[in-house]
Amino acid sequence: MEFDPATTIFGLIDVQPTFMPGGGLAVPDGDRIVPLINRLMPLFDHAFATQDWHKPNHLSFASAHPCREPYETIELPYGTQILWPDHGVAGSPEAMLHADLDQTRIELVLRKGCDAAVDSYSAFFENDHVTATGLDGWLRQRGFRELILCGLATDFCVAWSAEDAARLGYRVTIVEDACRAIALPTVPGRTTMDEARDRLTTLGVRFIISQDLAV
């Protein structure tokens, strides 16, 4: 896959221990993406990263709702909210970018989910779909037109970031083997990953594997 290094940026979505084995919201094999991301990093001149950065009483945490369990859903003013295990707590060691991650080309680290009353999957908007993170403005002022994304989890924060980027007019590619999915069941025979893929391909988001980027 060819891309213009001057207008393309590598986006690392939530590559944090909190989403890896032993973390608060562990994604199966989430730690295995770090070496692959490090192998891909030298292919790019520019990169950015995001971090989930929640207050301890965040309304997306099941622990903030008595008698509720993780992965139940509730209705909040901005829509249906999955209740998650506590994760990405601001300032905690597991909320940091993974210690082994190559950060040499990361020019921006964006922290999201800071408002205790609104969850934030996407790198571009909080889950009310109105409150912007500021990433779009930064990318446009820097002249980036193409995003190549990786990280955790494919079907939530990566997918929502890709969807918003595509709707904002960017060319978007997901490096699928540099991601891992939570894949919660939705209807019989389908998961949140199946639904994310359908939604994204309709918007023109491409799925590739890391070998497609090799030069």
- Which one of the listed residues 112, 119, 164, 179 is annotated catalytic? 112
C-alpha distance from residue 44 to each of 88, 104, 146, 192 (Å): 27, 10, 12, 30
What local confidence, expressed as pLDDT, does residue 215 receive? 54
Nearest to 123 by CA among 210, 10, 14, 8: 14
- Please say if 55 is a catalytic residue: no
Distance CA 10, CA 181 (A): 19
pLDDT digits (tens, 9 = 90+) for 79-109: 999 999 999 999 999 999 999 999 999 999 9
- Which one of the listed residues 52, 86, 155, 157 is annotated catalytic? 157
pLDDT digits (tens, 9 = 90+) for 32-70: 999 999 999 999 999 999 999 999 999 999 999 999 999
Distance CA 110, CA 32 (A): 22
Nearest to 96 by CA among 178, 17, 36: 17
- Please say if 112 is a catalytic residue: yes
Decide if 99 contacts 64 (C-beta within 8 A).
Answer: no
What local confidence, expressed as pLDDT, does residue 173 receive? 98
- Please say if 128 is a catalytic residue: no
Give this prediction's pTM: 0.96
pLDDT digits (tens, 9 = 90+) for 112-154: 999 999 999 999 999 999 999 999 999 999 999 999 999 999 9
Contacts of 87 (CB under 8 A, 6+ apart): 18, 19, 23, 24, 25, 52, 54, 61, 94
Decide if 78 contacts 118 (C-beta within 8 A).
Answer: yes
What local confidence, expressed as pLDDT, does residue 180 receive? 98
Looking at the DSSP bridge assignments, the partners of residue 10 are 47, 148
